[in-house]
Amino acid sequence: MGLTKRAVTIYGLQVPMDKIIDEHVNIINKCICMPKSGPLSEDAKFCPKCGRDMFHKVQTISIKKGLGIEVDKDYNLIIAGYPTSGRAGEGDCIYVGIVVSKTDATYSAEEADPVMYNMPLITDMDISKFQESMQKYDLWNYLKFGLWTILLIE
Protein backbone atom coordinates (compact mmCIF):
# COMPACT_ATOMS: atom_id res chain seq x y z
CA MET A 1 0.00 0.00 0.00
CA GLY A 2 1.48 3.30 -1.04
CA LEU A 3 0.97 6.97 -0.87
CA THR A 4 -1.71 8.08 -3.34
CA LYS A 5 -1.36 11.47 -5.02
CA ARG A 6 -3.48 13.34 -7.54
CA ALA A 7 -2.86 16.76 -9.05
CA VAL A 8 -5.13 19.08 -10.99
CA THR A 9 -4.70 22.61 -12.30
CA ILE A 10 -7.83 24.74 -12.57
CA TYR A 11 -8.30 28.17 -14.09
CA GLY A 12 -11.07 29.33 -11.83
CA LEU A 13 -12.14 30.28 -8.33
CA GLN A 14 -11.26 29.44 -4.79
CA VAL A 15 -14.68 29.21 -3.12
CA PRO A 16 -15.18 29.19 0.66
CA MET A 17 -17.02 26.10 1.86
CA ASP A 18 -19.60 28.17 3.74
CA LYS A 19 -20.93 29.37 0.36
CA ILE A 20 -21.42 25.74 -0.73
CA ILE A 21 -22.57 23.80 2.32
CA ASP A 22 -24.71 24.33 5.40
CA GLU A 23 -23.59 22.84 8.69
CA HIS A 24 -26.15 21.97 11.33
CA VAL A 25 -25.43 20.82 14.87
CA ASN A 26 -28.16 18.92 16.68
CA ILE A 27 -27.90 18.06 20.34
CA ILE A 28 -29.36 14.66 21.17
CA ASN A 29 -30.08 13.31 24.63
CA LYS A 30 -28.13 10.04 24.77
CA CYS A 31 -29.38 8.89 28.14
CA ILE A 32 -32.39 6.55 27.92
CA CYS A 33 -33.41 6.74 31.57
CA MET A 34 -35.27 9.72 32.92
CA PRO A 35 -33.64 10.93 36.10
CA LYS A 36 -36.22 11.37 38.85
CA SER A 37 -34.17 13.92 40.73
CA GLY A 38 -35.87 16.84 39.02
CA PRO A 39 -34.91 18.93 36.02
CA LEU A 40 -31.29 18.82 34.95
CA SER A 41 -29.28 21.90 34.15
CA GLU A 42 -28.12 22.37 30.59
CA ASP A 43 -24.55 22.06 31.85
CA ALA A 44 -25.08 18.47 33.04
CA LYS A 45 -22.61 16.21 31.25
CA PHE A 46 -23.56 12.89 32.79
CA CYS A 47 -26.83 11.32 33.90
CA PRO A 48 -27.03 11.25 37.71
CA LYS A 49 -28.86 7.90 37.56
CA CYS A 50 -26.86 5.76 35.11
CA GLY A 51 -23.71 7.80 34.51
CA ARG A 52 -23.98 7.91 30.69
CA ASP A 53 -23.16 11.00 28.69
CA MET A 54 -26.25 13.18 28.72
CA PHE A 55 -25.89 14.90 25.39
CA HIS A 56 -24.28 14.13 22.08
CA LYS A 57 -23.65 16.65 19.31
CA VAL A 58 -24.42 15.42 15.81
CA GLN A 59 -23.12 17.49 12.94
CA THR A 60 -24.82 17.23 9.57
CA ILE A 61 -23.60 18.81 6.37
CA SER A 62 -25.88 19.54 3.43
CA ILE A 63 -25.35 21.20 0.07
CA LYS A 64 -27.03 24.59 -0.20
CA LYS A 65 -30.04 24.64 -2.48
CA GLY A 66 -30.22 26.76 -5.63
CA LEU A 67 -26.53 26.64 -6.54
CA GLY A 68 -26.85 24.35 -9.53
CA ILE A 69 -24.73 21.73 -7.77
CA GLU A 70 -24.59 18.15 -8.99
CA VAL A 71 -22.60 15.18 -7.74
CA ASP A 72 -20.84 12.93 -10.25
CA LYS A 73 -20.33 9.17 -10.02
CA ASP A 74 -17.09 9.66 -8.04
CA TYR A 75 -18.89 11.93 -5.52
CA ASN A 76 -17.19 15.09 -6.79
CA LEU A 77 -19.19 18.30 -6.80
CA ILE A 78 -20.02 19.99 -10.09
CA ILE A 79 -21.13 23.62 -9.82
CA ALA A 80 -23.03 25.08 -12.79
CA GLY A 81 -21.43 22.45 -15.03
CA TYR A 82 -17.87 23.15 -13.84
CA PRO A 83 -15.86 20.52 -11.93
CA THR A 84 -14.48 21.14 -8.46
CA SER A 85 -11.26 20.01 -6.88
CA GLY A 86 -10.43 19.65 -3.25
CA ARG A 87 -12.45 17.71 -0.76
CA ALA A 88 -15.71 19.06 0.50
CA GLY A 89 -15.68 18.95 4.26
CA GLU A 90 -11.90 18.58 4.53
CA GLY A 91 -10.90 22.20 4.33
CA ASP A 92 -12.19 25.70 4.29
CA CYS A 93 -12.44 25.99 0.50
CA ILE A 94 -12.78 24.12 -2.78
CA TYR A 95 -11.74 25.11 -6.28
CA VAL A 96 -14.13 25.34 -9.22
CA GLY A 97 -13.37 26.18 -12.83
CA ILE A 98 -11.98 25.07 -16.14
CA VAL A 99 -9.54 22.16 -15.83
CA VAL A 100 -6.22 23.05 -17.46
CA SER A 101 -4.30 19.86 -16.68
CA LYS A 102 -4.62 16.85 -14.43
CA THR A 103 -3.13 13.47 -13.71
CA ASP A 104 -4.82 10.65 -15.59
CA ALA A 105 -5.64 8.80 -12.36
CA THR A 106 -4.34 8.30 -8.89
CA TYR A 107 -0.92 6.74 -8.62
CA SER A 108 1.20 5.45 -5.80
CA ALA A 109 4.67 6.59 -4.77
CA GLU A 110 6.20 3.32 -5.98
CA GLU A 111 5.06 3.91 -9.57
CA ALA A 112 6.71 6.07 -12.18
CA ASP A 113 5.78 9.70 -12.69
CA PRO A 114 2.12 10.23 -13.57
CA VAL A 115 0.95 11.15 -17.04
CA MET A 116 -0.32 14.73 -17.20
CA TYR A 117 -2.94 15.68 -19.75
CA ASN A 118 -3.02 19.23 -21.01
CA MET A 119 -6.43 20.55 -21.93
CA PRO A 120 -7.31 22.76 -24.92
CA LEU A 121 -6.66 26.50 -25.03
CA ILE A 122 -9.02 28.60 -22.91
CA THR A 123 -10.51 31.61 -24.69
CA ASP A 124 -11.86 34.90 -23.36
CA MET A 125 -15.34 33.63 -24.22
CA ASP A 126 -14.79 30.61 -21.94
CA ILE A 127 -13.74 32.92 -19.10
CA SER A 128 -16.75 35.22 -19.64
CA LYS A 129 -19.13 32.27 -19.64
CA PHE A 130 -17.56 30.95 -16.43
CA GLN A 131 -17.76 34.37 -14.77
CA GLU A 132 -21.45 34.74 -15.69
CA SER A 133 -22.20 31.28 -14.31
CA MET A 134 -20.48 32.03 -11.01
CA GLN A 135 -22.12 35.48 -10.71
CA LYS A 136 -25.52 33.85 -11.17
CA TYR A 137 -24.92 31.85 -7.97
CA ASP A 138 -23.14 34.70 -6.12
CA LEU A 139 -19.84 32.80 -6.07
CA TRP A 140 -17.76 35.19 -8.19
CA ASN A 141 -14.88 36.99 -6.50
CA TYR A 142 -12.28 38.48 -8.82
CA LEU A 143 -9.70 38.43 -6.01
CA LYS A 144 -10.02 34.63 -5.80
CA PHE A 145 -9.94 34.04 -9.57
CA GLY A 146 -6.75 32.66 -11.05
CA LEU A 147 -4.70 29.61 -11.88
CA TRP A 148 -4.83 27.08 -9.02
CA THR A 149 -2.87 23.84 -8.74
CA ILE A 150 -4.21 21.40 -6.17
CA LEU A 151 -2.32 18.36 -4.92
CA LEU A 152 -4.39 15.80 -3.03
CA ILE A 153 -2.41 13.28 -1.00
CA GLU A 154 -4.09 10.29 0.62
Domain that holds residue 91: 1-20+66-154
46 shares its domain with 113:
no
**Residue 102: per-residue pLDDT:** 76
25 shares its domain with 9:
no
- This prediction's pTM: 0.66
Task: Please report, to the nearest 10 degrees, the dihedral formed by the alpha carbons of residues 148, 152, 153, 154 taken in order.
Answer: 170
- Name the domain count of the chain: 2
**Residue 20: per-residue pLDDT:** 81
User: For each of the chain's 154 residues, which pLDDT tens digit applies?
Assistant: 566 677 888 899 998 888 887 777 777 666 666 554 445 555 667 777 777 777 767 777 777 777 778 777 766 788 888 888 875 545 688 899 988 877 755 555 555 565 566 666 788 899 999 999 999 988 999 999 999 888 877 6
Cβ pair 93, 17 in contact under 8 A? yes
128 shares its domain with 77:
yes
7 shares its domain with 37:
no
76 shares its domain with 136:
yes
Q: What are the residues facing 14 on neighbouring strands?
A: 95
Q: Which of 88, 60, 64 is nearest to 76 (CA)?
A: 88
127 shares its domain with 106:
yes
